[in-house]
Amino acid sequence: MRVISGSARGLKLKSPKGMDVRPTTDRVKESVFNIINNRLMDSFVLDVFSGTGSLGIEALSRGAQKCIFVDLSKESIKIIKENVQKARFDEKSEIILSDAINAINKLAARKNKFDIIFMDPPYLKNLIEPVLEEISKKNILENNGIIIVEHDTKDKLSEKINNIYMYREKKYGNTTISFFALEE
């Protein structure tokens, strides 16, 4: 697993042993970042269910202003810290050990709003829609912001959750990337 483009291009990222964390493949990551490339410069990014931090680090490498990484696993947090330091993005990063819902509540209390939110939860665990509901309720997505959800193709997501709607979906084998935005 590596950083594909930008200031940290080619940097190999550490990933944990075993299958508890399933890093986004380079092919899927490259496709996602080609789609959102024009939104990255100076963006404020939230990487929920961060795992290795790969998506947030890629965003920082391509010009994002700041990324907040959230994961519930202490092992993942340790790896994210190592990867952020290796990429020299310490100043642009904040790493939070928490479940997604509590982290969203904390960030909302701080009045944080995000241009891009990445979600890559464990597959087939019904974690996506409750987190999208919380993002909507707590109003942490900028008006023109987007949410990018990586999930198993068997996970069928609602087209609309409160004021958030799915506007695009791309399938890559058993992985699907769903793009959400706020209703006008």
Q: For the chain, what percent of residues have pLDDT higher than 70?
A: 96
Tokens for 151, please give them: 């999930």
Helix, strand or coil, per DSSP, at residue 136: helix
Stated pTM of the model: 0.95
Distance of CA 128 to CAs 20, 124, 150, Å? 17, 9, 9
Burial of 138 (0-12, 13-18, 19+ CB in 10 A): middle
pLDDT digits (tens, 9 = 90+) for 135-160: 999 999 999 999 999 999 999 899 99
Q: Confidence band (pLDDT; 50, 70, 90) for 184?
A: confident
- Residues paired with 2 in a beta bridge: 12
What is the pLDDT, as a whole number, of residue 127?
A: 94
Domains of the chain (ranges, CATH numbers): 26-130+137-172 (3.40.50.150)
Q: Confidence band (pLDDT; 50, 70, 90) for 175?
A: very high
What is the pLDDT, as a whole number, of residue 1?
A: 83
Name the average pLDDT for the chain: 93
pLDDT of residue 19 exceeding 50: no
Tokens for 86, please give them: 């290796």
pLDDT digits (tens, 9 = 90+) for 82-108: 999 999 999 999 999 999 999 999 999
